[in-house]
Amino acid sequence: MAGAVVLAVAAVFVVFKVQRDREWARGGDAMKMNVELRLADHDNFEVTLAALGVPAHESNGRSPDGAQTVVAKVTWTGSPSDDGRLHLIALDKRMSPPRLLSGGGGWTPLDLHWNRSGLLGSSWTSSYNKVLAKHYDWLAGLVPTRLPDGSYSVPYTLSPAVNLPASKSGTATVWFTPQQGSPQLTDPSQDIIIALFYVQEGDQVRWAKRISG
């Protein structure tokens, strides 16, 4: 009897692992996504946001301090879930491994409930680092580096992800700034990866998907 219970538990574990491995690899495959990328600077930041659908009253006075900003309008349909959160990130693929940009913010016409203006913020949790790096080679740079004094250095300075509630379909315009010391960008369509990952309640990452780049 005990042996049968052990076998049943083992079988359930194997099935769960297979399902999770499939989800890590193909969790976002049902989504159809489009990305429109622009490179902006301090002088034309607000004009660039307006061209990508952000209302003028939501962009005034929000120009970032950095000389360059990557602005992306992301549109999607067919998301497998409408609970939890979607996190949008940008990486500089001229680096090896690709290096995260800092999340500046964003705007969406979706009803955010708590924020009728549609403005989006950036955030990050350290638990994302190892789990994403483990499953995606293009996120290998997220693993913290152990320093001689025993502390750890993370590969980003500010929160890299712009997040919003998950929805079956939607659109968001988000912006990112290169980290200090990064070389000048010339063509974001060639230099930048735009990706998203899906997080359930409790900050459990379910899958990530490379959208462009």
Radius of gyration, alpha carbons of the chain: 19
Residue 163, pLDDT score: 92
Average pLDDT rounded to a whole number, residues 29-55: 92
For residue 86, list its beta bridge partners.
Answer: 164, 198
Q: Dump strand ranges (E) for 119-203.
A: 119-120, 122-123, 145-146, 152-153, 161-165, 170-177, 192-200
Is residue 11 packed enough to be buried (19+ CB in 10 Å), middle (13-18) or exposed (0-12)?
Answer: exposed
- Give which of 105, 84, 90, 101 is closest to 172, Cα–Cα: 105
For residue 81, what pLDDT band results from cuts at 50, 70 and 90?
confident
Average pLDDT rounded to a whole number, residues 33-38: 96
Whether residue 13 has pLDDT greater than 60: no
Q: Where in the chain are the domains?
A: 1-29, 31-212
For residues 144 and 153, the answer to whether their CB atoms sit within 8 Å is yes
Percent share of the chain, pLDDT over 90: 50
